[in-house]
Amino acid sequence: MLNTNFPTFKARRVNHMRRIFCVSLAGLSMMLIPTVHAQSSTATVVAEQTVGASSTETTLPNAGESLGAQRERGENLITGWNMTPNKEEGIKLLEAAIEKGDRRSLIILGRLYMDGEFLKRDHRRALDLFQRAAKNGDFEGVEALGETLMWQAKTPADRREAERLLTLAGSAGRGSAWTTLAYGALYRKLSSTANANYRTYVEKARALGDAQIDIVEAERLLYRSSKKPNPSAAIVSLEKAASAGNPEATKYLVRLYRDGNGYNVKRSLPKARTYLKKYGTKLSSETQQQQAFLLQAAVARSNSEFSKLAHTARARSDFTSTDFQRQLYQANRNFSIYLAQDKLREKKLYNGPLNGRATTRTMASLRDVCKTLVWKGNCDKKILSDRSLAAIIAN
């Protein structure tokens, strides 16, 4: 079957705040930013934010605290990450950082209002913050809003606004925005006119050096070719990109054969190893080790193998990220369950055997801990999913 899990494009620090929201844009189009030339590095508006509005106290940064530390503390106070949440103080800290000229706080606070998980959703406020960031040359928020609108568009107006925002970000030098538009055209998420501009978007993304665009082309050949899918051509395209030094193409090739795609490419671990050996030298040392570990995990079957791999994983901080854990789930579901069991046992939330099996006791513990996560949106209703287990293991 066709893989309809739409891709994401950048590993941002605030990925945990990116959630699906459905909007309509009637009444807001006049508020959105005009075209801003700068270099770069919906019908219903939810009730206005009231958190902190009545407080008369002023939250100040700690003595000697940098803007970065102030920003991080403000965000963590809002989300409750590793501290008791205090949304009022968190908002004030971010706003104070913004007044001092901290552009990153504009994006972070805008995302928090846009997302609506930790603060009451306020698209007016989010748009205002993104506009201010764009005027200072930072189009990340504009791009994020355009991307979300594109995938969740309900009306032609939504699609047109998504196109406008992404084009604005792309014109400001964000190659990933053109890649997003190419994906949208590929999956018919834009207007008919914009869908016909697929090649233009590909060219613009390539001109700005966005590595993800080669993956878009591969997926077009794997799944969306106008006549019929052409996996052989997709592989040739990926090989060419990997040979030219595109790390995303190398990782995609290895993953494609490590896991298969359940459609027109069968799992082949020997091929995955061959591609890693052939093109892996163009990857960073850390990424090479991650890919090698994933291949090891893919063939592990016994508890003793799981135990050795788990010991290695615990010693590597880069193996605890949500993205890496989701890849581990795809490579070996039982090992992923084993890691979750191990993590819960360490926290005294599971007292069953470490066996990598979805036993009744395991499932009960997974459901219980999922309810306690700060980002409950990371826990799918289907608890045995890459998203849910990754959230549990990584937190």
Distance CA 95, CA 85 (A): 17
**Both tokens assigned to 5:** 């899990």
Evaluate if residue 51 carries a pLDDT over 60.
no
Evaluate if residue 336 carries a pLDDT over 50.
yes
- The tens digit of pLDDT for each residue in 66-80 reads 899 999 999 999 988
What pLDDT is attached to residue 200? 98
Helix (H) or strand (E) holding 217: helix 213-219
161: left (phi > 0), else alpha (psi -120 to 50), else beta?
alpha
- The tens digit of pLDDT for each residue in 297-315 reads 999 999 999 999 999 998 9
Query: Is residue 48 very low, low, confident or very high in pLDDT (cuts 50, 70, 90)?
Result: very low
Per-residue CA distances from 38 to 69, 134, 138, 218, 356 (Å): 28, 8, 8, 32, 52
- The tens digit of pLDDT for each residue in 351-386 reads 999 999 999 999 999 988 887 775 555 565 678 889
Query: Is residue 28 very low, low, confident or very high in pLDDT (cuts 50, 70, 90)?
Result: very low
Q: Burial code of 91-129, b = ≥16 C-beta within 10 A, e = fewer?
A: bbbbbbbbeeebbbbbbbbbbbbbbbbbbebbbebbbbb
Q: Burial code of 63-72, b = ≥16 C-beta within 10 A, e = fewer?
A: eeeebeebbb
Average pLDDT over residues 131-139: 93
Alpha carbon 125 to chain centroid, angstroms: 23
Helix (H) or strand (E) holding 185: helix 175-186
- The tens digit of pLDDT for each residue in 232-283 reads 999 999 999 999 999 999 999 999 999 999 999 999 999 999 999 999 999 9
**Both tokens assigned to 330:** 């795809």
Evaluate if residue 47 carries a pLDDT over 80.
no
What pLDDT is attached to residue 226? 74
- The tens digit of pLDDT for each residue in 89-131 reads 999 999 999 999 999 999 999 999 988 888 998 877 888 899 8
Non-local (6+) Cβ contacts of 345 within 8 A are 351, 354
Distance CA 92, CA 83 (A): 17
Query: Is residue 60 very low, low, confident or very high in pLDDT (cuts 50, 70, 90)?
Result: low
> Which percentage of the chain shows pLDDT scores above 70?
82
